[in-house]
Amino acid sequence: MYKAISANKRNTVVIMAVFLLIIGGLGALAGYIYQDWGVTVAVVVIASIYALVQFFLASHEALAINGAREIEKRDAPELYRIVENLAITEGLPMPKVYIMQDPSPNAFATGRNPRTASVAVTTGLMEIMNKRELTAVLAHEMGHVKNYDILVNMVAFGLVGAIGMLADLLVRMLFSSKSDRDNKNPALMIFGLVGLILAPIAATLVQLAISRQREYLADASGALTTRDPEALAAALEKLKTHGRPMEKQNRSTASMFFSNPLKKASGLFRTHPPLDERIKRLRKNATRM
């Protein structure tokens, strides 16, 4: 478990470095377009500021665009008590609790750190899960909080947004810039255009890689917290038959959810590991938990 957490931290550094390389590459392209490396510095600074703003707003945005409504204990006593007990067990601050009116069974955690964390569940999840299974799902989400996956998600959210904004801006610059156009290497211009198209795709793939990698760890963390890996496996089994895309879908926050909230995707574009593989790992390691 602790080896997995350490490996996750190392991989996160690598992943963040890839994001920064993409932004640096886009900045270098901007400098080439205008034949001014000062533009490169400006682009990187603007992207960093944009990513920072997104970092602080992302949690509120994720809750808002998914229609999450904050509740108090009297609104859903059992749900609130489960989260409260898990927070006490893990030694974490009590997160804010939200409910999303959606028949799709799902949940997610967000925030910059445990002090600013929020946990949201759909009405669909509450309807099909018994108390034991609901506890297991929420323990998984609290695992994301404990492991600081929510922080990584917020950083990735901000950087993906910054890369998308930069790529869109640079495409406009590429086609509108007339300065020294005749002196520019056509091959490099074509290479730059391809790079602009691929950069947001690459950033999204990195974000999805973060999500898939961390779901296994959150499953293990949740199972260790409850000492009941079979409950989480049973919850995942239910998703195989009752799972469905959410009515309010947003690709930018899909990787934060307990299971894929969008239509099914395959290969590198999957937001989550396969349910069968998650169930297999839980049951295989049940005796170690």
Nearest to 218 by CA among 158, 266, 265, 273: 273
Give pLDDT tens digits for 44-61.
888 778 777 877 888 898
Between 236 and 52, the more confident residue is 236
Pairwise CA distance, residues 62 & 114, whole Å: 16
In sequence order, the β-bridge partners of residue 279 are: none
Kindly indicate the confidence band of residue 181, based on its pLDDT and cuts at 50, 70 and 90: very low
Angle between helices 149-176 and 2-34 (to 10 degrees): 10
Please indicate whether residue 141 is annotated as part of the active site: yes
The pTM of this model reads 0.80
Kindly indicate the confidence band of residue 159, based on its pLDDT and cuts at 50, 70 and 90: confident
Q: How many CB atoms lie within 10 A of CB 206?
A: 19
Q: Pick the catalytic residue: 141, 215, 230, 247?
A: 141
Mean pLDDT taken over the chain: 83
pLDDT of residue 19: 75
127 pLDDT exceeds 80? yes
Nearest to 243 by CA among 265, 228, 258, 222: 258
Q: Give phi and psi for 243, each to the nearest 5.
A: -65, 145
Give pLDDT tens digits for 204-216.
777 677 777 788 8
Average pLDDT over residues 214-221: 89
Give pLDDT tens digits for 136-153.
999 999 999 998 888 888
